[in-house]
Every structure is written in structure tokens, then in C-alpha cells.
Amino acid sequence: MSDQGKAAAQREPGLGTVVAASAAGTAFEWYDFFVFGSLATVIAKHFYAGVSEATGFILALATFAVGFFVRPLGALVFGVFGDKKGRKGAFLVTITAMGLATVAIGLLPDYGAIGMAAPIGLIVLRMIQGFALGGEYGGAAIYVAEHAPAHRRGFLTSFIQTSAALGLIGALLVILACRTIMGKEAFEEGWGWRIPFVLSSLLLLISLWIRVKLGESPAFKRMAEESAHHPRAPFAETFGRWRNLRKVFLVLFGVMIAQGAVWYCAFFYSQFFMQKILKLDEQVVLELMVGATAVSAVLYVFFGWLSDKIGRKPVMLFGMILAVAAFIPSFGNSAFHWLTRAGNPALAAAQASAPVTVTADPADCTLQFDPVGKATFASSCDIVKSYLTNAGVSYENRAAPAGSTASVSIGDVVVASRDGRGLDKDSLKAVRSGVESDVGAALRAAGYPEKADPARTDMKTMFLVMLVFTVAATALYGPQASALVELFPTRVRYTGMGVPYNIGTGWVGGFLPAAAFAIMAATGNIYAGLWYPVAFTVAAIVVAFLFLPETKGRDLNHVPE
């Protein structure tokens, strides 16, 4: 070997360095993204102060989802760039954009300081975050897979999946530490909530320093040499040729819609459910999430390793089927029912002994969601439903004759609502306050708690339920990177896997918390939102079982067309 060749070989990073650098950078980007999701309730208070509590919460979740909406566009742009120019350059740009946008969120004035410019600025920064993250995952997963030996590809790429857990753990631990040191009120009402965002500046510098040391992947360099005189057009080759486009559809509908539904239900909607519906203390929820996420970091690697032994497809199908069994609410005994009984037993007992029914003229009832903050919710139906939704109380609907005034049945007790239409602002406020006082008193008398009692919370059972969610999510996600990489040829790998991945996680998963909460608000059933992840996962099970090929051990340089 020549001196030049020896020097190049010496500069080539080892496999451990490749995996560590790729996973560390991806963990940082997930940290940035998850800080926002974990602080959704706090962000709602600061940036959506001009709307009702329920609407502000949904808007905060929707803003979280906006970042996911633009992820496919980021995947497309960076996918084409990565397939033409190289994997390394693409993910250096993505990590820089993500870090700068996150720090800017921490410095952005809130609604009280600059009015509507605050939520608009927040949405723009979330879009930049989503655009960057859209190009990150595919680049990191491909980079590791193209370095890894075929018989260990599932195991090694699973560390990229683990980076999501590390990012979430980091976000939760920083939030927990800040809240503990500063106190809940100072953290949420003052400037303390900004600290986790601003800390990204340090993580950005560390991640960039690590990634700059990397070279290009062997598979990309080989492909670039072989096609030096044959121009590459990743977009046209991915979406203009049926053999590649078919794989895009297969990844989207056979894997990614389930991935988005299962993972974000397990690690985000469960968090919102415990805080918003069960009224558990935020610190208790954070401790549960940190514990479950820590376990997930190990399980991603285990299921990635297992997929090297028995195949990608059976492991991923197991995760999907377990998720459906855990989430499905129709039998009244889903894992979320178990969460309710363990986390807030007084609420579960009250729901069983004194079920709530709203009897009203359907024409007087509107969806409890006001995106622009202009709805008054002044009808007798809207006033009582708005209160029950904000209180996280599950109720059934019963139609009343046209023109009837709404009423609420709480067990055997009936509380009449009042109509506030046509009243001035102060009079409407008095009417609403009176109805809420009457209904609240009846709920308390029936045993409905305003908050979960920490002394009665069964943490062990709640943690076991979270472990079921975690096993389902990690079984699906652990082998996923290797499975997706193995489906696409090198020329279009970044574009081909990045776009469906980010549609599934970005659109199906990113909109899950807001959509599920909106479904709950519309139906009055605190478990109704679970049909959202169940429907997507069942569809993916059918497609994967019938059409998804087994890819374990494929030579990445000779992927079947």
C-alpha cells in the first residue's frame, strides 16, 4: 500500500467511532425536539394565553406537530443532497439548523411581551426544527448501516434508534432538574422553562466537533466511483420509477404509519394523558417517563440484535400486534384503563359509580376547539362541555329535544346548565362561573378528584403498563433502520427511506397527541383518542404481513431492484 493509501486508512474512523458519532448527534437533535413536546403544557400558558385552557393545550400540541408536518420536505431536500453529494455533509447541516432553532425558541419573547408575534415566531422555529430533523435520521441510519457488516447491521443500527431514547431522557432529566432546583412555580411561570432550550448551544458545539471528524461511508464512495460518468438523479429515480416508488409506498404503509402511531402514543400521548386527564403531578409523570425511556434504550439494542438472528419482519410485527392489544379501548380494559386505575383510582372509581352524561340539543353543541380564540362557547351545552373537557372528565352524550337547555347527570344527580348567548362579557362570565361551580360541586360530591392523590398512586403498576408500551415501541423501532436501509439501492437510499419515514413519524406520529386529544374533546370519552393509533397500526399489520419482504443480511451494494 502507498504512503497516501496508508494515511487514508489511518484517517478512516473505526466502527465504534462511526456508531458513537452518529448516535450522539442524533440524540442531540431528538433532545431538541423532545424538550418542546415535554413542555407543551407550559408553552401553552406562555404563547397561547389568549384562548381557553383546552384550546391552548391543543394549540401547543398542534405547534409541536407543525415541526413534524415539514419533516418530509426536509427529508426530500436533504435526501437528494445526501444521495448526490454524500451522507456526512447532509447531517452536518441538519444538526446546525436544529441547534440554532432550539436556542432561538428559548430566547423568544412570549405572548405577554409581543402578542401574536410570539406564537407565529414559535411556529416558524418549529418548522425549521422539523425541516432539519427530516434530514437527520436517514443520514445517520444509512451512515452506520453502510459501515456495518451484514450479520451485525440490525444490532449496530439499533444504536441510532437508541439515540431517540437518549434524547428524550436528556430532555426529561434537564426539565426535572430545573423544576426541582427552581421550584415548579418559578420554572413554569418565570424564565426557568427556557433553560433546557438554551442549553442546546453547548450540545450543538459538542455534536458538531464529533461529527466533523467523520469521513464518507464506504458504500457511497464505491457508488460515486462507479457512477462518476453517469449522472445521478435521486428524486427522479425514487419517484419516477415504479420499482423504487413501490418500495416507498411499502415502507410508508407497511411500517411507518405504525411507527408513528405506536411510538408517539407510547412516549408522548401517554405523557399528556397522565398529566392532563389523570391530573398526576408533573414530577411523577417525568419520573415514570425517564424510567420507561431508560429501559427502552436497552430494548432497542436487544430487538435490533434479535432481528439479526430471526429477521426484521417478525420482530416488527410483534411490536405492532402488542401495541394494538395494549391500546384498543373497546373492551374497557386497555392499558390506558389500567393507567387510570393505578394513577388516579379515585377518578376510576367515580367513573364507575357515578358516570357523567350530558343531555342537550345536538344543534347547540360545538367541538370544544377554537384555533383562533374567537369562539365564545356560550350555549348551555358548550358551557358545560367546555368545563368537563378542561376538567378531564369523561362523559356520554344524550340527545334532548330541540330548544332544550342542557343538563349534566352525575350518577343520580342532575345539574341544569344555563344559556349565555346574547349576554355581555361580564354576564356570560357570571353564568359560566355559576354552572362550573354547580357542576364542580356535584362532581366532588360524587368522588371525582380535582387532582390525583399521590398517596394512592400505584407507581409499580403504572411503570409495568409503561413497560408494555415500551416493549411494543422498541420491537417495532429497534430493527427498523436496518430494514429500511436494506430495502433501497445505494443510489436512492437517503431519499427513498427518508421521505416515507418522515411522513409516517411526522404526520401520523407528530399529529397524534393533538388529534387524539381533539377526538377526546369531541366525543367526551377520555379513551376515544386511542382509536387513532389503533387504526393506523392495524392497517400497517395487514400491509406488512402480506407484502413486506424479509431483508436480513442483504448486501447493500446489490439490493434487488
Alpha-carbon span 343 to 349, nearest angstrom = 12
pLDDT of residue 555: 81
| Closest of 138, 201, 198, 87 to residue 506, by C-alpha | 138
Q: Which amino acid is at 552?
A: K
Alpha-carbon span 408 to 400, nearest angstrom = 12
Q: Which amino acid is at 395?
A: Y
Q: What φ, ψ does residue 330 adopt, rounded to 5°?
A: -70, -25
**CATH architecture of the domain with residue range 346-445:** 3-Layer(aba) Sandwich (3.40)
540 half-sphere exposure, CB direction, 13 A CA radius: 30
| Closest of 477, 507, 392, 499 to residue 64, by C-alpha | 507
pLDDT of residue 228: 53
Alpha-carbon span 513 to 223, nearest angstrom = 41
The residues, any chain, with a CB within 8 Å of residue 92's CB and separated by 6 or more, are 208, 211, 212
**Lookup result for grid cell 410508508:** 252
CATH number of 15-227+255-338+454-547: 1.20.1250.20
Pair 407, 416: CB distance under 8 Å:
yes
Pair 445, 344: CB distance under 8 Å:
no
Predicted structure pTM score: 0.82
pLDDT of residue 459: 94
Q: What is the DSSP letter of 279?
A: -
- What order of strands is seen across the sheet that includes strand 407-410? 395-399, 356-360, 407-410, 413-416
Instruction: For the chain of 561 residues, list the mean pLDDT of each consecutive stretch of 10.
Output: 44 70 73 76 80 69 77 84 72 82 90 87 88 78 82 89 83 86 87 89 80 67 59 74 91 95 91 89 86 92 96 97 93 86 94 94 79 69 88 90 93 93 89 94 94 92 96 95 89 84 86 82 88 96 96 78 58
Structure-block grid coordinates of residue 67: 415541526
CATH 1.20.1250.20 positions along the chain are: 15-227+255-338+454-547
| Closest of 171, 211, 205 to residue 23, by C-alpha | 211
Structure-block grid coordinates of residue 324: 394494538
Q: Which amino acid is at 280?
A: L
pLDDT of residue 384: 92
Pair 183, 50: CB distance under 8 Å:
no
Q: Which amino acid is at 437?
A: S
The alpha helices in 425-525, defined as continuous H runs, are: 425-445, 459-477, 480-487, 493-503, 512-523
Alpha-carbon span 210 to 34, nearest angstrom = 22
CATH 3.40.30 positions along the chain are: 346-445
Alpha-carbon span 99 to 88, nearest angstrom = 17
SS3 state at 228: coil
pLDDT of residue 9: 43
pLDDT of residue 532: 95
